[in-house]
A and B are shown apart, each in its own frame.
Chain A
Amino acid sequence: MAGISTTLSAPLPNYLEAKPGILSWVTTTDHKRIALLYLGGMSFFFFFAMSLAVTFRLELLFPGMQFLSHDIYNRLLTLHGVVMIFLFIIPGIPAVFGNFFLPILIGAHDVAFPRLNLLSWYCYMAGAALAVVSILSGGGPDTGWTFYVPYSVKTGQNVFWPILAAFILGWSSILTGLNFVTTVHRLRDKAMGWFQMPLFVWSLYATGWVQIIATPVVGITLVMVLLERFFGIPIFDPARGGDPLLYEHLFWIYSHPAVYIMILPAMGVVSEIIPTFSRKHIFGYKFIAYSSVAIAAIGSLVWAHHMFTSGMSDIARIVFSFLTFLVAVPSAVKVFNWIATMYKGAIRLDPPMIWALMFIVLFSIGGLTGMIVASLSLDVHLHDTSFVVAHFHYTMFGGTAVIFIAALHYWWPKMFGRMYRVRPAKQAVWLFFIGFNMTYMPLFIAGAFGMPRRYADYLPEYTVFHQLSTIGSWVMVAALLLAFYNLVHSLFRGERAPEDPWGGATLEWRTPTPPPVLNFTGAPDLSRGPYEYPEDVAQ
């Protein structure tokens, strides 16, 4: 009982200052520190993969080959995909913001398995190291990030290291998902029911299940590719009786749900940001919560729409086309609910809110063009064109990555205790918006005209689209550099952030900034629901 007085009087050291020294960081089991470890790794790989893309985008400024060989181009493209997908977008939001805020949002001191959490990070870093080693050793892989057989079994390029990297990264992802699901079940504050959880927690819970169920499938499939490649065990190679379409099925059974692993947490973050900056209770709480689960469930049934032109049966193609249309329903439910939340709200256009609004615009474009490629007949024309490239960059980059940046701006003051400057942050958003659309919108048009994806060269007719796109990529990079510079700058020059800079209602805003080691100074205050704002007149 003596503890109570200590709790109230002595100020607790915050998690950043609790223990000094590098060693205390790399052996930490504090979920907040692990989140920052991830953030460090992820920012590095994001800019690394971005610079690869800028490089081959530059090559595409003119038709013909300028300064890259076809071989190098293929490798840069593969590495860009592998790094962005496996090292940034899939783990991104759960590993950084999920780790940091999931326990706080449910009033817990840490995740259920803190040491396992650290192990996930080591798996992540080991996988990342392998992925990078794969470029340096005997020629990087040139298979594309999908490692399709039979090429991945037969190519002379180095396939072993990137596949091993993907396998280990898969385990990192599984362990994180397992940890989060258990945490939500076991460590939720006793006073918090399922439908009092913030929606970000719901989305992480649904994501955790997808990670647990889908990831092992791709793990073992990639292992089978390695068995085939190195022990000559015939499994997928058609020359030896295998069925390459089976590989595609097994690969996409994971890799399509992986798309929802990427986007669901982002949608969760949006469901936090929009009510906070509208000062209004989230509209349709249960619909948003259930739609997360529905997206996870239906999203697991649509994988073969990546294979419309691969030689599946007609019936299978129709079935998967139909199922793909279904998944748009819960996604649209979310978008409508966000817009309804803003209706008659007291909207404040702070940087996180503008990023989130931009997400709605870009993600809607990505989602609706997704409906176009989900249509069987149109997909036959658009498959493997730059239309698809533009589509998934609108959903993945304009969706997940934009929300990653929005979440950084939203939670940065809480994580580091420093406030960034608002003006440059807003300028970066608009610059990004221009650059992003300039980069990817022309690819839609070029794709519809027949420009294939992944090609190092193109016919002169496409020059204007590629030049717009390349120049747009420079604008976008400038915007990203500005946004990140502004954030990093605040660490050294920023003002101290208050406990609740945005007037949010979830638990993280009712604990000191930065949070103490065990997240709360007293008992978490659950007298208010996650979306109850004093200013909300509707209540």
Chain B
Amino acid sequence: MTESQATMTAEPVHAADHVDHYDPLGAKIGMWLFLFTEVLLFGAMFIAFAVYLRQYRIEFMGGSRELDRYLGLLNTAVLLTSSLTMAFAVAAMARGQTRRAIGALAATLLFGAVFLVVKAREWGYKFSHGIYPQSETMLDRPVGEQVFYGLYFAMTGLHALHVIIGMAIIVSAAALILRRRIRPDRHIYLENTGLYWHLVDIIWIFLFPLFYLIG
């Protein structure tokens, strides 16, 4: 007991100012706590959505019918599949299959990019029909639909931003793998990247039916 304490404290004296102990469990707890903030971030917007859905039921259903549900379905499939490849990447890394992990990450990035392209087409399509905040077409519509589209742009926009951030983190994880900073025995960074990506997926799992399928 005392001996182990002595060695524990003796060690830092050498390493006067880099206390770089690897604590994957600590890192994971930190990551989960961060994910909770993301849950509540979107959660607040979902509360707003729920309140207005109750208030403007008819208009929300109308707005929902107007969205392209097949594009929404496509994007759901794309994002779910990207989550699969992300899970592959983490599992491969844990098994020491570095090249396979890189490949899975590349696939995840590809699916992420497809998701964003589809999303951009969808927004562009709406814009070309004059559906964007403050447009004349928009202002002629019932206020409930204006609120619906307001939330639609705000929430899917914020979600797309998270996809972009997630892709940037994936790129950084891939770079760290190539530089051997993420290794099979030290891959919490990749695991946390995966957790973030899956959470973004979960948020979309809720966004999709609430916006596209209530019509």
The reply, when asked whether chain A contacts chain B directly with Cβ atoms under 8 A, is yes
Q: Which residues of A contact B (CB under 8 A)?
A: 1, 3-4, 6-7, 12, 18-19, 30, 109-110, 112-114, 116, 174, 177-179, 181-182, 185-187, 212-217, 219-221, 224, 227-228, 231-235, 240-243, 246, 249-250, 253, 517-518, 520-523
Check B154–A233 contact: CB distance below 8 A: yes
With A1-B10, A235-B151 as known contacts, state yes or no: A216 contacts B143, CB within 8 Å: no
Taking CB atoms, residues of chain B closer than 8 Å to A177 are 33
- Further contacts, 18 of them, CB under 8 A, given A6-B13, A518-B13: A3-B7, A3-B10, A110-B19, A181-B29, A212-B33, A213-B40, A214-B40, A216-B44, A220-B41, A224-B45, A231-B134, A234-B133, A241-B144, A242-B147, A243-B55, A250-B48, A517-B16, A523-B5
**Nearest A residue (CB) for B30:** A182
Bound: A234/B5 CA distance, A: 60
Check B29–A182 contact: CB distance below 8 A: yes
**Nearest B residue (CB) for A525:** B5
User: B13-44: which have CB < 8 Å to A?
Assistant: 13-14, 16-17, 19, 23, 25-26, 29-30, 33-34, 36-38, 40-44
Taking CB atoms, residues of chain B closer than 8 Å to A242 are 147
* Nearest 5 Cβ contacts at the A-B interface: A241-B143, A3-B10, A523-B5, A232-B134, A186-B26
**Nearest A residue (CB) for B39:** A216
Q: Which residue, B9, B25, B56, B154, has most C-beta atoms of chain A within 10 A?
A: B9
Bound: A110/B19 CA distance, A: 8
Taking CB atoms, residues of chain B closer than 8 Å to A116 are 30
Instruction: Give the contacting residue for A112; candidates B12, B23, B56, B153; CB below 8 A.
Output: B23
Q: How far is the CB of B193 from chain A (nearest CB, A)?
A: 17
Bound: A213/B2 CA distance, A: 40
Check B44–A241 contact: CB distance below 8 A: no
Check A213–B36 contact: CB distance below 8 A: yes
With A174-B37, A233-B153 as known contacts, state yes or no: A517 contacts B9, CB within 8 Å: no
Check B10–A520 contact: CB distance below 8 A: no
> Is B150 located at the chain interface by the 8 A CB criterion?
yes
Taking CB atoms, residues of chain A closer than 8 Å to B10 are 1, 3-4, 6-7
Check A234–B150 contact: CB distance below 8 A: yes
Bound: A215/B153 CA distance, A: 23
Check B33–A182 contact: CB distance below 8 A: yes
* Chain A proximity mask over B57-89: 1 for CB below 8 Å, otherwise 0: 000000000000000000000000000000000
Bound: A534/B39 CA distance, A: 48
Taking CB atoms, residues of chain A closer than 8 Å to B25 are 186
Classify chain B's interface size. Answer: 35 or more
**Nearest B residue (CB) for A246:** B51
Check B146–A241 contact: CB distance below 8 A: yes
**Nearest A residue (CB) for B153:** A233
Q: How far is the CB of B141 from chain A (nearest CB, A)?
A: 10
Taking CB atoms, residues of chain A closer than 8 Å to B178 are none
* Chain A proximity mask over B132-165: 1 for CB below 8 Å, otherwise 0: 0110000000011011001101100010000000
Check A216–B40 contact: CB distance below 8 A: yes
Check A182–B5 contact: CB distance below 8 A: no
Check B47–A185 contact: CB distance below 8 A: no
Taking CB atoms, residues of chain B closer than 8 Å to A253 are 44
Check B43–A3 contact: CB distance below 8 A: no
* Chain A proximity mask over B163-206: 1 for CB below 8 Å, otherwise 0: 00000000000000000000000000000000000000000000
Taking CB atoms, residues of chain B closer than 8 Å to A249 are 47
Q: How far is the CB of B136 from chain A (nearest CB, A)?
A: 12
Bound: A249/B36 CA distance, A: 20
Bound: A128/B98 CA distance, A: 44
Check A7–B143 contact: CB distance below 8 A: no
Bound: A113/B130 CA distance, A: 48
Bound: A216/B2 CA distance, A: 44
> Is B52 located at the chain interface by the 8 A CB criterion?
yes
Taking CB atoms, residues of chain B closer than 8 Å to A234 are 133, 143, 146-147, 150
Taking CB atoms, residues of chain B closer than 8 Å to A181 are 29, 33
Check A109–B44 contact: CB distance below 8 A: no
With A3-B10, A112-B26, A234-B147 as known contacts, state yes or no: A220 contacts B17, CB within 8 Å: no
Bound: A65/B4 CA distance, A: 71
Taking CB atoms, residues of chain B closer than 8 Å to A235 are 48, 147, 150-151, 154
Check A220–B45 contact: CB distance below 8 A: yes
Taking CB atoms, residues of chain B closer than 8 Å to A220 are 41-42, 44-45, 158
Instruction: Give the contacting residue for B30; candidates A3, A112, A522; CB below 8 A.
Output: A112
Taking CB atoms, residues of chain A closer than 8 Å to B146 are 234, 240-241
Check B8–A241 contact: CB distance below 8 A: no
Bound: A113/B30 CA distance, A: 9
With A112-B30, A182-B26, A235-B150 as known contacts, state yes or no: A523 contacts B40, CB within 8 Å: no
Check A243–B52 contact: CB distance below 8 A: yes
Check B133–A3 contact: CB distance below 8 A: no
Check A523–B9 contact: CB distance below 8 A: yes
A–B Cβ pairs within 8 angstroms, 19 of them: A3-B7, A3-B13, A4-B10, A6-B13, A109-B12, A116-B30, A217-B40, A217-B43, A217-B44, A219-B41, A220-B41, A220-B42, A227-B150, A231-B133, A234-B146, A241-B56, A250-B44, A518-B16, A518-B19
